[in-house]
């Protein structure tokens, strides 16, 4: 059976291989006696192109092997989205606010009751901040709460 | 349920206690430098002479600077990665670079990589050591002159292990090759340890390095020192001539210094330089440096800044000539 | 002086009250940092280094060595419990250790890794005390071509032991090598594939990558369906390995110790290659290779034994040649140098007390670590009884903090999320992750040794076959590659004949 997902993945590998190979050519390949920076990535890129072509060929014929079916991707998608927003706002808003919201989202996706959700995300944020920032000396960004922390 | 509630309350109470204690910790912003630990970045691998020297000197930092100095290793690209990191850091004196001739003069002068006196400013020099050229004791030559004859008779046969492009071993070897017209293979290793291992294992014939790493092997008879690349002989190797005595005009002094991002305020530089001067005069530091086989050769910010700039310009010229 | 007198002298040194104390401190600290992801042994040893300047040299080395091998004990804990490898050498432990935990056998997995580590550590210490000088000359035989072939063999093993198809393993290996070239060229330092982003000149940090690929990806997978979230609710079967477990894996522990001991002597990627090698050997020898990757206890026992034996034997190049084999050992080298002791060929003659004292302290340290880790298992296993939703949110927060603390920047958190999504998708399409990780870690070493071999031989590729050790390693790699292919062909032929 041909699976469109596998063909897309194979194409991704192929494109990555082509990009790196092209970049390696630009870096100068050199000769074996005097290899230049592009030598190793070039050889490796060509190998990846060959392998992913073979994979695509087999995927086209429906023989690329087993992949697992996607379940309900709403949960993972929500968490990834929350994480992207987290990265974007971490340094501006600070660790405490953003982490509180992030853990609330994760718990929400896991269908936690509201009261427990608030309690757990709040205590997790505060405990982790104290343990890592105060105890272990990891500097976490204070953000807009600088004045209070 | 009741039990769970009690437990929760206990946690909350505990948290509040911790919060209260945490809140009392001194977090006020003071005007006086330094108010927090200073980071000293070493852009090469652990266990080398730069690492050892930096750790010895900074071990007493808290006594003279009022704050500890945290040594951080950021090796890679022959020192370029760490140097670029420091050049880009905030010029507030909290991020310093442990400078070395290789990545602070040679690389920026010859290759235009890493960062030199255009992007960093000098705090002070700690000391220097000359490169020593050694060969496996099985090699059929005993002096630099004999080695040159051997290399001329057997072109492309000698394998020289350098410790990274344009590093402590590579640059002087390129200079020797250029001056004497010999031809040999010059294989890059990632640091003094791997290069030394290659020579001891017979995978390379010669290398150049510093006395602290080479001395045990010279004493045990596995390696033979051919020449010291300094203007004077080495204290611990009185029988080994300098290259100049052997008729090759090459010297290579690997200095170690403290550098700061350009734009660091002068008062901060002065404060750091003074603290480092006192650290290098500390009895325990002096004895540790002595055990490494080196001595303190402190040089202040202005004097060393001038020395560094001159070396940088002269290597720029050299680089142009060598690359031809 | 005979061997036993030397060792007795060593024990006299190591058993003094203060040295015993430092040994215990080192072992305890090591376990603690091994368990906490993001804090590695080199960083901890570096922090403690100034403290040792004022100590006796023997005590200093005993404590620092304790941290180093203690971390090897602790590093497997997070691999088994949360699928987050604490360090490169325990990546492989995730494969079967975490699966065992999901089946309610976390206790057995942790137990076998602690006891296996103890046996391996003890055997390795014995090996070091008997044949350190011989092994040093073995390490010297490895030049660039040998290293190249060893790393190549390590990669082939990672591909061979990936449970999914060999083609997918090869693709992941090649992808890992390519991503490993991002950053500065190891030979002359030219920036490559950095897209002008300065953060990328440093390459990708191991902690960031692994937390994303393993820790976060695992959470994302389990978020898909509610039934996945109750995985740890199954009854916990036994806290320690039972008799049946021992029958299955005593030989694995011995083989793992043996492999780890010899590969660990080689400076560079010794510990990590040996853990992969031990796993591959077990899978190859097993009568039921299909159990591997699904919670086979041998798949935990052998690599854990190997990485512990390797961490002990990695002291040999330092003590006999004065060459540190990895970042942690380099710190111990520094501690010795600061005391005016130059590790090298003369160490054994000049400072016999130091050498034998440290060896003896390793015997004692291993016993201490076992005593410390066995009672902890109970605690760890209880931790898994916490409902999964709470465990998951803790893992997410720990991953975020771990990634942030690498360079104190949100950029690394972003990279971690990127690798998390990548790991999630790759898992969906059944692409194996371990060849990718190993290729990314060993890629720069592979490239450097390839270039060294080519320059030294004048561009002659035959140099890899002309030298006996490298030829054997290459043949082994070829053999590993060909067996699955041969199996496929044979099976097809059988099917054709049968049909």
Number of domain units in chain B: 2
Statement: residue C155 has pLDDT above 70? yes
A33–C contact, CB cutoff 8 A: yes
What is the arithmetic mean of pLDDT over A100-110? 91
Higher local confidence (pLDDT), A93 or B17: A93
Q: Are residues B148 and B122 in the same domain?
A: no
* Among chain C residues, CA nearest to A38: C192
Q: How large is the ipTM?
A: 0.92
* Both structure tokens of C288: 């039921």
B77: distance to nearest CA of chain A, Å? 12
pLDDT winner (highest mean) among C14-28, C197-211, C311-325: C14-28
Residue B11, pLDDT score: 52
Which residues, 6 or more positions from C250, have their beta carbon under 8 angstroms from its beta carbon?
none
Q: Are residues B121 and B165 in the same domain?
A: no
The answer to the question of residue B244 being in a domain is: no
Q: What residues make up the domain containing B117? A: 38-129+253-323
Round to whole Å and give the CA distance between A77 and B188. Answer: 47
Pick from A123, A134, A149: CB nearest B15: A123
Which residue, of B179, B213, B228, is where some domain finishes? B228
Please answer yes or no on whether C144 and B198 come within 8 Å at the CB atom. yes
* Cβ atoms B98, B43 nearer than 8 A: yes
Q: Are residues B148 and B223 in the same domain?
A: yes
The answer to the question of residue B163 being in a domain is: yes
Round to whole Å and give the CA distance between B42 and B75. Answer: 7
Smallest CA-to-CA distance from B79 within B57, B52, B101, B47 is with: B101
The answer to the question of residue B292 being in a domain is: yes
**A25 to each of A34, B77, B276, C57, C192, how far by Cα in Å?**
15, 21, 48, 52, 11
Do strands B185-188 and B159-162 pair parallel, antiparallel, or not at all (unpaired)?
parallel
* Cβ atoms B119, B84 nearer than 8 A: no
Per-residue pLDDT tens digits for C251-275: 999 999 999 998 888 876 677 888 8
Q: Are residues B136 and B283 in the same domain?
A: no
In the predicted model, what is the mean pLDDT of chain C?
Answer: 83
* Among chain B residues, CA nearest to A116: B8
A106–C contact, CB cutoff 8 A: yes
C146: distance to nearest CA of chain B, Å? 11
Which residue, of B159, B194, B228, is where some domain finishes? B228
What is the arithmetic mean of pLDDT over A93-115? 90
The answer to the question of residue B9 being in a domain is: no
- Report the side by side order of strands in the sheet with B69-73: B69-73, B38-42, B95-100, B253-261, B120-130
Statement: residue A100 has pLDDT above 90? yes
Q: Are residues B158 and B191 in the same domain?
A: yes
CATH assignment of the domain containing B142? 3.40.190.10
Do strands B206-209 and B159-162 pair parallel, antiparallel, or not at all (unpaired)?
parallel
A97: distance to nearest CA of chain B, Å? 16
Cβ contacts below 8 Å, chain A against chain B, sum to: 15
- Name residue, tokens 């392998």: A51
Per-residue pLDDT tens digits for C101-126: 888 888 889 999 989 989 998 899 88
Q: Where are the beta strands (DSSP E) in C79-227?
A: 183-184, 191-192
Per-residue pLDDT tens digits for A36-74: 888 899 999 999 999 999 999 988 887 656 677 777 788
* Cβ atoms A56, A85 nearer than 8 A: no
Per-residue pLDDT tens digits for B158-186: 999 988 777 788 888 988 998 899 999 98
Pick from A9, A20, A103: CB nearest C397: A103
Higher local confidence (pLDDT), B91 or B163: B91
Q: Are residues B63 and B123 in the same domain?
A: yes
Q: Which helix (H) or strand (E) holds A29?
A: none
Per-residue pLDDT tens digits for C202-242: 677 777 888 889 889 988 988 886 655 555 555 555 667 88
Round to whole Å and give the CA distance between A124 and A122. Answer: 6
Which range (B219-223, B308-312, C236-240, C400-404) has the least confidence?
C236-240
Round to whole Å and give the CA distance between C160 and C267. Answer: 24
Residue C192, pLDDT score: 84
Q: Are residues B269 and B307 in the same domain?
A: yes
Residue B19, pLDDT score: 42
Q: Which helix (H) or strand (E) holds C221?
A: helix C217-223
* Dihedral angle of Cα C125, C474, C178, C417, to the nearest 10 degrees: -40
* Cβ atoms B78, C189 nearer than 8 A: yes
Which range (B7-16, C56-65, C348-357, C367-376) has the least confidence?
B7-16
C331: distance to nearest CA of chain B, Å? 7
Which residues, 6 or more positions from A140, have their beta carbon under 8 angstroms from its beta carbon?
A95, A129, A132, A133, C401, C404
SS3 B131: coil
Per-residue pLDDT tens digits for C440-498: 888 888 888 898 898 888 888 888 888 888 999 899 888 877 776 777 777 777 777 76
Percentage of chain B lying above the pLDDT 90 cut: 43
Interface test with C, best of A20, A24, A59 (most C CBs within 10 A): A20
Q: Are residues B55 and B123 in the same domain?
A: yes
In the predicted model, what is the mean pLDDT of chain A?
Answer: 86
Q: Are residues B64 and B97 in the same domain?
A: yes
What is the arithmetic mean of pLDDT over C326-332? 78
Which range (A82-96, B201-215, B287-301, C335-349) has the least confidence?
C335-349
Higher local confidence (pLDDT), C46 or A42: A42
The answer to the question of residue B289 being in a domain is: yes
Round to whole Å and give the CA distance between B266 and C228. Answer: 61
Pick from C168, C424, C425: CB nearest A65: C168
Statement: residue B313 has pLDDT above 50? yes
Smallest CA-to-CA distance from A87 within C409, B317, C110, C319 is with: C409
Q: Are residues B151 and B114 in the same domain?
A: no
Backbone angles phi, psi at A5, to 5 degrees: -60, -40
Percentage of chain C lying above the pLDDT 70 cut: 91
Q: Are residues B159 and B116 in the same domain?
A: no
> What are B98's strand-pairing partners?
B258
B94: distance to nearest CA of chain A, Å? 15
- Name residue, tokens 């790196």: A20
Crossing angle of helices B283-291 and B49-58, in 10° steps, is 160
Please answer yes or no on whether C401 and A132 come within 8 Å at the CB atom. yes
* Among chain A residues, CA nearest to B25: A134
Residue B113, pLDDT score: 76
Q: Are residues B139 and B224 in the same domain?
A: yes
The answer to the question of residue B120 being in a domain is: yes
Statement: residue C436 has pLDDT above 50? yes
In A, residues 72-101, which contact C (CB 8 Å cutoff)? Answer: 72-73, 75-76, 79-80, 83-84, 86-88, 90-91, 99
CATH assignment of the domain containing B308? 3.40.190.150
pLDDT winner (highest mean) among A67-81, B217-231, C371-385, C468-482: B217-231
């Amino acid at each position: 059976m041909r699976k469109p997902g596998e063909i897309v993945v194979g194409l991704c590998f192929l494109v990555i291989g082509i990009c790196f190979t092209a970049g390696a050519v630009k870096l100068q390949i050199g000769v074996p006696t005097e290899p230049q920076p592009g030598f190793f990535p070039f050889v490796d890129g060509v190998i990846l192109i060959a392998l992913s072509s073979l994979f695509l060929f087999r995927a086209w014929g429906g023989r690329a092997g087993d992949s697992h079916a996607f379940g309900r991707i709403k949960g993972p998608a929500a968490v990834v989205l929350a994480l992207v927003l987290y990265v974007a706002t971490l340094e501006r808003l600070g660790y405490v606010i953003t982490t509180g919201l992030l853990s609330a989202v994760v718990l929400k996706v896991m269908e936690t009751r509201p009261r427990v959700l608030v309690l757990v995300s709040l205590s997790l944020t505060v405990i982790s901040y104290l343990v890592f920032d105060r105890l272990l000396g990891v500097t976490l960004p204070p953000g807009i709460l600088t004045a209070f922390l | 349920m009741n039990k769970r509630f009690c437990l929760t309350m206990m946690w909350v109470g505990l948290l509040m206690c911790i919060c209260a204690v945490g809140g009392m910790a001194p977090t006020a912003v003071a005007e006086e430098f330094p108010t927090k630990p200073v980071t000293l970045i070493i852009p090469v691998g652990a266990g080398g002479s730069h690492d050892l020297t930096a750790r010895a000197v900074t071990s007493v930092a808290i006594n003279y600077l009022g704050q500890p100095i945290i040594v951080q290793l950021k090796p890679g690209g022959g020192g370029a990665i760490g140097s670029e990191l420091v050049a880009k850091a905030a010029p507030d004196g909290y991020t310093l670079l442990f400078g070395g001739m290789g990545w602070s003069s040679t690389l920026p002068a010859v290759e235009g990589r890493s960062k030199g006196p255009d992007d960093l400013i000098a705090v002070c020099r700690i000391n220097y050591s000359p490169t020593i050229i050694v060969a496996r004791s099985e090699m059929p030559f005993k002096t630099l002159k004999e080695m040159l004859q051997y290399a001329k008779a057997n072109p492309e046969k000698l394998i020289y292990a350098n410790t990274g492009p344009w590093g402590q071993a590579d640059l002087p070897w390129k200079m020797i090759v250029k001056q004497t017209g010999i031809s040999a293979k010059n294989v890059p290793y990632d640091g003094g340890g791997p290069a030394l291992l290659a020579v001891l294992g017979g995978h390379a014939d010669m290398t150049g390095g510093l006395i602290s790493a080479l001395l045990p092997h010279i004493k045990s008879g596995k390696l033979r020192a051919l020449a010291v690349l300094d203007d004077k002989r080495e204290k611990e190797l009185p029988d080994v001539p300098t290259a100049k005595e052997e008729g090759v005009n090459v010297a290579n002094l690997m200095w170690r210094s403290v550098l700061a991002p350009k734009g660091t305020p002068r008062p901060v530089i002065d404060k750091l330089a003074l603290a480092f001067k006192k650290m290098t005069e500390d009895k325990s530091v002096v004895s540790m440096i002595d055990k490494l086989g080196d001595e303190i050769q402190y040089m202040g910010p202005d004097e060393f800044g001038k020395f560094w700039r001159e070396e940088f310009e002269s290597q720029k010229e050299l680089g142009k000539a060598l690359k031809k | 002086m005979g061997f036993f007198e030397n060792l007795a002298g060593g024990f006299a040194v190591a058993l003094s009250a203060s040295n015993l104390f430092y040994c215990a401190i080192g072992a305890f600290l090591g376990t603690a940092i091994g368990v906490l992801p993001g804090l590695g042994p080199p960083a901890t040893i570096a922090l403690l280094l100034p403290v040792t300047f004022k100590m006796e040299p023997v005590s200093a080395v005993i404590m620092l060595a304790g941290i180093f091998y203690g971390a090897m004990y602790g590093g497997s804990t997070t691999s088994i419990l949360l699928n987050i490898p604490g360090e490169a050498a325990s990546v492989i432990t995730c494969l079967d250790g975490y699966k065992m935990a999901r089946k309610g056998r976390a206790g057995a997995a942790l137990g076998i890794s602690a006891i296996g580590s103890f046996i391996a550590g003890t055997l390795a210490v014995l090996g070091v005390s008997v044949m350190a000088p011989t092994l040093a000359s073995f390490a010297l035989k490895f030049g660039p071509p040998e290293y190249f072939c060893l790393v190549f063999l390590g990669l082939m093993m990672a591909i061979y032991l990936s449970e999914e198809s060999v083609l997918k393993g090869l693709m992941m290996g090649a992808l890992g090598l390519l991503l490993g070239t991002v950053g500065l060229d190891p030979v002359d330092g030219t920036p490559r594939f950095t897209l002008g982003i300065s953060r990328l000149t440093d390459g990708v940090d191991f902690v960031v990558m692994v937390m994303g690929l393993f820790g976060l990806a695992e959470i994302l997978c389990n978020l898909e369906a509610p039934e996945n979230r109750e995985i740890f609710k199954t009854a916990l079967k036994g806290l320690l390995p039972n008799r049946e477990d021992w029958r299955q894996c005593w030989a694995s522990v011995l083989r793992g110790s043996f492999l780890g001991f010899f590969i660990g002597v080689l400076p560079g990627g010794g510990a990590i290659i040996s853990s992969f090698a031990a796993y591959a050997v077990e899978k190859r020898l097993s009568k039921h290779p299909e159990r591997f990757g699904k919670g086979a206890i041998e798949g935990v026992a052998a690599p854990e034994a190997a990485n512990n034996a390797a961490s002990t034997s990695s002291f040999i190049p330092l003590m006999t040649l004065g060459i540190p084999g990895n970042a942690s050992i380099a710190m111990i080298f520094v501690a010795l140098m600061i005391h005016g002791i130059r590790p090298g060929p003369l160490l054994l003659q000049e400072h016999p007390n130091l050498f034998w004292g440290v060896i003896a302290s390793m015997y004692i340290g291993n016993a201490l670590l076992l005593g410390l880790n066995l009672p902890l298992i109970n605690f760890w296993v209880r931790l898994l009884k916490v409902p999964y939703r709470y465990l998951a949110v803790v893992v997410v927060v720990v991953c975020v903090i771990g990634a942030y603390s690498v360079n104190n920047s949100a950029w690394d958190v972003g990279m971690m999320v990127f690798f998390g999504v990548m790991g999630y998708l790759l898992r969906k399409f059944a692409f194996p992750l371990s060849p990718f990780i190993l290729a990314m870690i060993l890629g720069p070493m592979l490239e450097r040794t390839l270039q060294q071999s080519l320059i030294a031989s004048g561009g002659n590729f035959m140099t890899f076959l002309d030298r006996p050790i490298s030829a054997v390693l290459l043949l082994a790699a070829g053999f590993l590659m060909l067996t699955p292919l041969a199996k496929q062909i044979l099976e097809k032929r059988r099917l054709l004949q049968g049909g």
